[in-house]
């Protein structure tokens, strides 16, 4: 039985409250502290989802969601308590993108600590750490659980970032007397966990009765703490934990991953009302940093806080499987669009609406309004992602790119709308902590001796971006024939068309793919075009065969003088799509056009 509280929160900020543990804590604590107000700060990184928070909580007047990075100082207002979950904890990010994990788990955390220090009115700050900071434990039966003062020996990059965070906690405690209590959490399972983690991944395998992939020997032991027990432990730490102390929160119940698969298969079969089939295993090489065991002592929490886990593993797994088998809606990003009223911006809005992704059109215009005003609005928009589609491609009296080639007076407009706006927005997003996507162009390329028709295509170059996705589109085509800037609505009216293969960006395909990559917070440069270049003449030929037999353009072949002149101009090129097909496959241009034109006829 937990001890009577010595501290009672009134206004609480929960960082990372849309993630796995954070959202379960929000759902638990909203009722456990019935007079408390809550602000949930989350930038929806990868496994986070606003719908992880129960609808009853989302509708509560005591709950407010603020979608921003913890670096945003404006989010810390009128609070007395912080429960800090926000962290990058996945193996993919921490092991393969270590610098980005350091940015989120260490550098942003330091800025957050400094914001709390300057705010000066926080009475209790609970910092969530991990048992992984202790490193590996022995598999022997007489192994003693690690206690709070045990030596820290991190065996993976995630644990290293958490140790760095704890080091700054100690520094701020000592230097500024910040009222921080640290909780080192055991291996936790429960609803809302990301499907790259073993329990939700095994549940999906169990549903399909597939093969369970077992890394290495499969004998790695893990303690299994149900998330509601973890939430109760954090409540106890907040109410009764001694300032500047550390508390292990965990369980002594252990099971290896092979036995975990058996339990999950049995529970899934039971809840689906079907005969049980024993699991089938497939051994794969062990992943790096896969420690054998994390075994901690929870004696301090039991003695000082009166806390001990109370949910049996079977009951916790029953709740977890039942949650996973339910259909549910997901909201994993909120988007701000700059340039959303243009042709591509309008097509992007159609995609976001169809996917039910919340978005807002920014009112401030980069290059027109003062940079400080743009940044101020951006910090308060309550978004997690920004898309810049502000590029200038036409102007008064000229509906083509030739508008920008009209003389020296167009240089300022060109630089402002096509370079400065995109660059300054990228810097602002980096500063505030937002994922940034720039919809650029492949028009800087043209067929040449190194890249002839049918030869090598233009590839992406450079290092991956830091949550900054730069997509190159060419000849954007939609299915809206009422849109005057749509490539398709133009070319079906032409009497002659060049029969030169070029890369196309078929917007319904490519904008959906871009949204998928944004949800994954992908960075770097990407040629966002449908694979397999196709000529505009062939596009209209397919349209004629499926949609309207009346269109009948004449092809201008590649061997003609006019075609040779065209080859020397920008925009007539083939962009390489190997990278795109590797990370987010899309249909070839021809396959996509056939599919969409048939859908047009069906409507």
First to last CA, the chain: 64
Structure tokens at 166: 């704890």
Residue 561, pLDDT above cutoff 90: no
pLDDT at 2: 67
Helix axes 313-324, 227-240, angle to 10 degrees: 110
- Select from 324, 357, 374 the last residue of a domain: 324
Of 295, 324, 353, the residue at which a domain comes to its end is 324
Please tell me which residue in 28, 158, 189, 338 is annotated as part of the active site: 158
Cα separation, 50 vs 44, in Å, equals 8
- Pair (43, 175) in one structural domain: yes
350 domain-assigned: no
Judge whether 467 lies within some domain.
no
- pLDDT for residue 211: 94
Q: Residue 204: how many CB atoms within 10 A of its CB? A: 13
pTM for the structure as a whole: 0.85
Contact 276, 265 (CB under 8 A): yes
Beta carbons of 518 and 497 less than 8 angstroms apart: no
Judge if 132 and 273 occupy the same domain.
Answer: yes
What backbone torsions phi and psi does residue 465 show, to the nearest 5 degrees? -80, 165
Give dist(CA 497, CA 231) in Å, integer. Answer: 65
DSSP per-residue string spanning 131-198: GGGG-----STTPPPBPTTSPP---SHHHHHHHHHHHHHHHHHHHH---EEEEEE--EE-TT--TTSH
Is there a single domain that holds both residue 74 and residue 217? yes
Structure tokens at 426: 């990228």
The closest alpha carbon to 528, from 509, 502, 548, 553, belongs to: 509
Task: Tell me the C-alpha distance between 396 and 376, whole Å.
Answer: 31
pLDDT of residue 140: 73
Helix (H) or strand (E) holding 29: helix 20-32
Q: Is 172 a residue of the active site?
A: no
Q: E strands within 449-586? A: 468-473, 476-477, 496-498, 502-506, 524-527, 530-534, 554-556
Dihedral class, residue 527 (left if φ above 0, else alpha if ψ from -120 to 50, else beta)? beta
What is the DSSP-derived secondary structure letter of residue 84?
Answer: E
- Local structure of residue 420 (DSSP, 8 states): I
Question: Is the residue at 86 inside a domain?
Answer: yes
Give how many domains the chain has, as a whole number. 2
Residue pair 37/11 in contact by the 8 Å Cβ criterion: yes
Rounded CA-CA distance 445/474 in Å is: 10
On the question of pLDDT at 447 being above 90, the answer is no
The per-residue b/e assignment along 12-40, b for 16 or more CB within 10 angstroms, e otherwise, is bbbbbbbbbbbbbbbbbbbeebeebbbbb
343 falls within a domain: no
For residue 563, how many other CB atoms are within 10 A of its CB?
Answer: 17
Q: Tell me the pairing of strands 385-388 and 359-361.
A: unpaired
Q: Has residue 535 been placed in a domain?
A: yes
Which of 249, 278, 248, 283 lies closest to 262 in space, CA to CA? Answer: 278
Distance of CA 48 to the CA centre of its chain: 8
pLDDT level of residue 307 (50, 70, 90 thresholds): very high
Give 39's pLDDT tier (boundaries 50, 70, 90): very high
The share of the chain scoring above pLDDT 90, in percent, equals: 69
Please provide residue 177's backbone torsions phi and psi, each rounded to the nearest 5 degrees: 55, 40
Quick one: tokens of 562? Answer: 């006019």
- Is 158 an active-site residue? yes
CA distance 243 to 230: 19
Is 275 or 556 the better-scoring residue by pLDDT?
A: 275
CA atoms within 13 A on the CB side of 108: 26
Query: What is the pLDDT confidence band of residue 466, given thresholds at 50, 70 and 90?
Result: low
Selection from 164, 165, 124, 131 nearest residue 150 by Cα: 131
Q: Is residue 420 part of a domain?
A: no
Query: What's the pLDDT score for residue 448?
Result: 81
Name residue, tokens 């215009």: 365
Tokens of 394: 């036409």
- The pLDDT, as a whole number, for residue 550 is 93
Distance CA 585, CA 590 (A): 15
Q: Are 558 and 508 in contact (CB under 8 A)?
A: no
* Catalytic annotation present for 148: no
Q: Which SS3 state, helix, strand or coil, does residue 11 take?
A: strand
Q: What's the average model confidence in pLDDT over 186-202?
A: 92
Q: Is residue 248 part of a domain?
A: yes
Q: Judge if 320 and 451 occupy the same domain.
A: no
Residue 497 in any domain: the answer is yes
CA 389 to CA 367: how far, in whole Å? 14
Overall average pLDDT of the 194-220 stretch: 88
pLDDT score for 398: 74
Whether residue 306 sits in one domain with residue 164: yes
DSSP 313-335: HHHHHHHHHHHHTS--------E
Residue 287's pLDDT band (cuts 50, 70, 90): low
Residue 42: per-residue pLDDT: 95
Which tens digits make up the pLDDT trace of 123-177? 999 999 999 999 888 777 778 889 999 999 988 888 999 999 999 999 999 999 9
CA distance linking residue 202 with residue 282, whole number of Å = 13
Q: What is the CATH number of the domain that holds 591?
A: 3.40.50.720
Three-state secondary structure call for residue 540: helix
| pLDDT tier at 503, thresholds 50, 70, 90 | very high
What's the CA gap between 403 and 392, in Å, rounded? 9
Residue 217 domain boundaries: 11-324
- 309 vs 315: CA distance, rounded Å: 12
Q: How high is the pLDDT of residue 353?
A: 97
Last residue of a domain, one of 324, 340, 373: 324
Residue 175 and residue 39 share a domain:
yes
Among candidate residues 97, 132, 239, 266, the one labeled active-site is 132
Q: Which of 69, 131, 228, 267 is catalytic?
A: 131
- Give the separation between CA 325 and CA 264, rounded to whole angstroms: 12
Tokens, residue 284? 């794969």
What's residue 4's pLDDT? 84
- Give dist(CA 544, CA 530) in Å, integer: 21
Q: How far is CA 504 from CA 443, 476, 529, 572, 589, in A?
A: 11, 6, 5, 10, 7
CA distance 441 to 188: 45
**203 in Cβ contact with 274 (< 8 Å):** no
């Amino acid at each position: 039985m937990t001890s009577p509280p010595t501290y009672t929160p009134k206004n609480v900020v929960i960082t990372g409250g849309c993630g796995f543990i954070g959202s379960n804590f929000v759902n638990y604590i909203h009722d456990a502290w019935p007079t408390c107000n809550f602000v949930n700060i989350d930038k929806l990184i990868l496994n986070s989802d606003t719908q992880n928070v129960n609808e009853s909580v989302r509708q509560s007047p005591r709950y407010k969601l603020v979608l921003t990075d913890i670096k945003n100082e404006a989010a810390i207002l009128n609070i007395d308590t912080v429960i800090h979950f926000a962290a990058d904890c996945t193996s993919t990010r921490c092991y393969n993108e270590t610098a980005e994990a350091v940015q989120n788990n260490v550098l942003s955390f330091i800025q957050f600590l400094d914001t709390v220090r300057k705010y000066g009115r926080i009475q209790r700050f609970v910092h969530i750490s991990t048992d992984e900071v202790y490193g590996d434990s022995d598999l022997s039966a007489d192994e003693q659980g690690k206690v709070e003062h045990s030596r820290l020996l991190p065996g993976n990059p995630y644990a290293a970032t958490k140790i760095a965070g704890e080091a700054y906690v100690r520094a701020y405690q000592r230097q500024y007397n910040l009222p921080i209590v640290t909780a080192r959490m055991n291996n936790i399972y429960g609803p809302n966990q990301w499907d790259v983690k073993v329990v939700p991944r095994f549940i999906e395998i169990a549903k399909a009765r597939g093969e369970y992939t077992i890394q290495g020997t499969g004998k790695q032991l893990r303690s299994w703490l149900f998330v509601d027990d973890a939430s109760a432990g954090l409540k106890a730490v907040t109410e009764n934990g001694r300032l500047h102390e550390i508390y292990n929160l965990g369980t002594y119940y252990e099971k290896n991953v092979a036995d975990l698969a058996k339990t999950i298969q049995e529970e899934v079969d039971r809840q689906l009302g079907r005969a049980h089939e024993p699991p089938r295993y497939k051994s794969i090489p062990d992943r790096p940093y896969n420690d054998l065991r994390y075994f901690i002592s929870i004696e301090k929490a039991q003695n000082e806080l009166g806390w001990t886990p109370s949910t049996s593993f079977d009951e916790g797994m029953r709740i977890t499987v039942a949650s996973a088998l339910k259909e549910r809606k997901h909201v994993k990003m909120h988007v701000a669009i700059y340039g959303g009223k243009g042709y591509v911006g309008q097509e992007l809005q159609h995609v976001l609406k169809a996917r039910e992704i919340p978005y807002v059109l920014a009112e401030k215009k980069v290059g027109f309004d003062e940079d400080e005003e743009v940044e101020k609005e951006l910090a308060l928009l309550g978004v997690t992602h920004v898309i810049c589609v502000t590029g200038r491609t036409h102007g008064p009296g000229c509906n083509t790119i030739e508008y920008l080639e009209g003389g020296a007076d167009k240089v300022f407009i060109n630089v402002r709308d096509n370079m400065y706006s995109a660059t300054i927005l990228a810097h602002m997003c980096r500063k505030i902590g937002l994922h940034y996507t720039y919809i650029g162009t492949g028009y800087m390329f043209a067929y040449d001796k190194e890249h002839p028709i049918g030869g090598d295509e233009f590839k992406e170059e450079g290092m991956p971006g830091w949550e900054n996705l730069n997509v190159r589109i060419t000849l954007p085509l939609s299915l809206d024939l009422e849109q005057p800037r749509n490539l398709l609505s133009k070319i079906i009216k032409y009497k002659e068309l060049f029969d030169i293969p070029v890369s196309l960006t078929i917007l319904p395909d490519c904008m959906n793919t871009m949204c998928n990559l944004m949800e994954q917070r992908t960075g770097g440069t990407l040629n966002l075009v449908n694979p397999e270049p196709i000529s505009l003449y062939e596009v209209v030929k397919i349209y004629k065969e499926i949609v309207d037999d009346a269109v009948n353009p004449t092809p201008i072949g590649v061997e003609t003088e006019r075609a040779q002149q065209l080859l020397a101009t920008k925009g007539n090129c083939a962009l390489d799509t190997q990278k795109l097909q590797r990370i987010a496959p899309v249909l070839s241009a021809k396959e996509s056009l056939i599919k969409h034109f048939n859908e047009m006829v069906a409507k």
